[in-house]
């Protein structure tokens, strides 16, 4: 009929069955998805921390490799090679005893005024002028020293502490029993320049034969390396540290190498770093003493493969609650909605169970059946009739 509204009637029982069929499976699927996605999202966040650590480790490694290459260019310059070869020729024809005597004489007078002519010759050589140009172009090179094959200083940017260098550990590492090798020291502190530095030593090789003829050693300021670490990820509020393979902090927001502190994060991930699986995973969520539960990403700089003194590791960490804050909110919201759905369905089931209508059958009066008449009485009744 026109004007009549369409009315849809659904029984409460059918509605409840429909809710059980739809809401319950969806809620259970939601809870399963939360559990599964929470693990995946945590793995994703941890992988991001690993990537942050790897990016910083790459920058640290590049800093060292670039300084080594620059030092090698100095050692290969014409001025340095010619100065070293000229010094080596000056020893020709002399006996080993005469060479040792000459070196000892200069070494003994090195601290006094008697050494001034030799010092002046060393600092005014073409090689020394070339070295000063390199230092002026890149102030990170603090001091540069060149020696000949005997270990005698032949050029430098400064007056060295000793004239004879062959009895020094760094020189022997570059000499490498006559083969010549690149040597990089661990981070040290220079009292003169008041700077943390690494010593980079490279052999001077004879053109054409690549035969060892001398050494070039450079002290390189690493303060810019500390800035790379400390300013790695400030907007993300991450704590980035560069540590040695014994846990000593090289650089972090709260400490420097001079403090000689051990990194609590490194102690927490040391076992993971010792395994291939742990290094491949690259992150760990763990409790750190005095810091609470933290998410730590870590990466080896890889420098130790080329320079045995540089077993450096980068750590990137953050409070675990802060790191997983976004995940926690989404997970809790989804869990809340799933729990609400299950709770509502449960309440409806309970309500239906308590308030369902009981249908009773109408009562009927019970009539006892009449006993069967005897045959004789029936015949008699028929006769009378």
Q: What is the pLDDT of residues 130-178, one digit of tens each?
A: 999 999 999 999 999 999 999 999 999 999 999 999 999 999 999 999 9
Could you tell me what percentage of the chain is helix, strand and coil, using 3-state DSSP and rounding each to the nearest 5? 50, 20, 30
CATH number 3.20.20.80 is the correct assignment for the domain at 76-221? no
The CATH code belonging to domain 47-61+227-324 is 3.30.450.20
pLDDT at 262 over 50: yes
Q: pLDDT tens, 99-141?
A: 999 999 999 999 888 889 999 999 999 999 999 999 999 999 9
Q: What pLDDT does residue 149 have?
A: 95
With a cut of 60, say whether residue 44 has pLDDT above it: yes
For position 135, what pLDDT does the model report? 93
**CA-CA distance, 333 to 327, in Å (whole number)?**
10
Q: Using alpha carbons, select from 116, 26, 57 the residue that is nearest to residue 297.
A: 57
Domain spans of the chain, in order of start: 47-61+227-324, 76-221
Pairing of the two strands 283-288 and 292-300: antiparallel
- Based on the number of CB atoms within 10 Å of its own CB, is 3 exposed (0-12), middle (13-18) or buried (19 or more)? exposed
pTM of the predicted model, to two decimals?
A: 0.74
| Residue labelled with tokens 């008449």 | 373
Alpha-carbon distance of 260 to 246, in angstroms, equals: 11
């Amino acid at each position: 009929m026109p004007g009549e509204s369409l009315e849809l009637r659904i029984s409460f029982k059918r509605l409840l069955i429909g809710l059980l069929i739809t809401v319950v499976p969806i809620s259970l699927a939601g809870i399963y998805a939360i559990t599964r996605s929470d693990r995946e999202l945590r793995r994703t966040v941890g992988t991001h921390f690993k990537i942050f650590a790897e990016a910083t480790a790459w920058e640290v490694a590049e800093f060292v490799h670039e300084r080594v290459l620059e030092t090698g260019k100095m050692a290969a310059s014409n001025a340095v090679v010619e100065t070293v070869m000229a010094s080596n020729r000056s020893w020709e024809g002399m006996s080993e005893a005469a060479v040792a005597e000459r070196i000892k004489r200069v070494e003994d007078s090195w601290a006094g005024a008697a050494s001034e002519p030799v010092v002046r010759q060393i600092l005014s050589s073409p090689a020394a002028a070339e070295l000063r140009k390199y230092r002026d172009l890149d102030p990170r090179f603090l001091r540069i020293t060149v020696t000949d094959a005997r270990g005698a200083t032949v050029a430098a940017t400064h007056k060295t502490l000793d004239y004879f260098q062959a009895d020094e550990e760094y020189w022997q590492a570059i000499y490498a029993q006559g083969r010549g090798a690149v040597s990089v020291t661990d981070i040290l502190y220079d009292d003169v320049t008041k700077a943390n530095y690494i010593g980079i030593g490279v052999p001077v090789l004879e053109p054409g034969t690549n035969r060892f003829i001398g050494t070039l050693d450079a002290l390189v300021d690493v303060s810019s390396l500390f800035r790379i670490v400390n300013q790695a990820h400030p907007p993300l509020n991450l704590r980035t540290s560069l540590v040695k393979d014994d846990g000593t902090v090289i650089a972090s927001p709260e400490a420097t190498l001079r403090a000689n502190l051990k990194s609590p994060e490194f102690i927490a991930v040391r076992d993971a770093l010792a395994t291939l699986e742990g290094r491949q995973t690259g992150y760990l969520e763990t409790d750190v003493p005095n810091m609470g539960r933290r998410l730590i990403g870590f990466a080896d700089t890889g420098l130790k493969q080329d320079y045995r003194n540089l077993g450096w590791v980068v750590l990137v960490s953050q409070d675990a609650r802060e790191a997983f804050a976004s995940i926690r909110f989404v997970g809790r919201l989804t869990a809340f909605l799933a729990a609400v759905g299950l709770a509502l369905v449960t309440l409806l089931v309970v309500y239906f169970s308590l308030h369902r209508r009981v249908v009773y059958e109408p009562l009927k009066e019970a009539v006892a059946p009449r006993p069967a008449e005897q045959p004789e009485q029936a015949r008699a009744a028929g006769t009378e009739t």
